Amino acid sequence: MSDNKSQLQTQELFRSHNGYLRMSEAIQSGITRYMLYSLRDSGIVEQVSRGVFRLAECPTPGNPDLVIVGLKYPKAVICLLSALAFHDLTTQIPNRVEVALPRKSRRPTLDFPPLSVHRFSRHAYSFGIEEHELDGVPLKIYSPEKTIADCFKFRNKIGMDVVLEALKLYKAAGKPDIAGLLEAAKACRVKNVMLPYLEAIL
């Protein structure tokens, strides 16, 4: 097979995966490391993180950091400040991607973007996960209600001003799900902490 034909087939494979491929996926599809690095060196693909490549001709994703995390670690759930930003519940700009994983799971390693990893109990981890798609890449992210409850749990780290801002923005978005907030608060064991604020703001 000629190099040109092989390159064209490789590019088509990238397109069929919404412009992104993990190294492992490429190798399973018969693409050699040499071919990937050759395409990278020629500018046809970009290496966006260790083991993750993107077809250069594809539009730049709206949130590349979350896309990379979704590709590299599909079990990781976007949480806390990163989830607040996704749901437009904060004016803060996250400087790293915050993810939740079950306890005892292997710690993810990424050279980029920087990660902040939080270990949750099995119930707290599995509660409130939503499935979203960013630029064709599946992504797990906590619901607004679970995110707010998590922020109350981590209020000493995040800052109570950020937590209260999120609650006010959540109310301003219309039709707050009080029952959903209480369920999330129960799952995170912060119901007694949250109740006075819910009564005052909502």
Tens-place pLDDT, residues 11-33: 777 777 767 777 777 788 777 77
Domain 64-201, CATH class in plain words? alpha beta
Chain segment 174-198, per-residue pLDDT in tens: 888 889 999 999 999 999 999 998 8
Show contacts of 191-194: CB within 8 Å, 24+ apart.
193/152, 193/155, 194/149, 194/152
Name which residue leads in pLDDT, 2 or 147.
Answer: 147
Tell me the average pLDDT across 67-95. 88
Asked whether residue 83 carries a pLDDT value surpassing 70, the answer given is yes
DSSP assignments along 49-100, one per residue: ETTEEEETTSPPPSSHHHHHHHHH-TT-EE-HHHHHHHTT--S---SSEEEE
Q: Kindly list the domain boundaries of the chain, sorted by start residue.
A: 3-55, 64-201
Pairing of strands 20-22, 97-102: unpaired
pTM of the model: 0.72
What does the pLDDT look like over 103-125, one tens digit per residue?
877 776 666 678 888 999 889 99
pLDDT at 100: 92
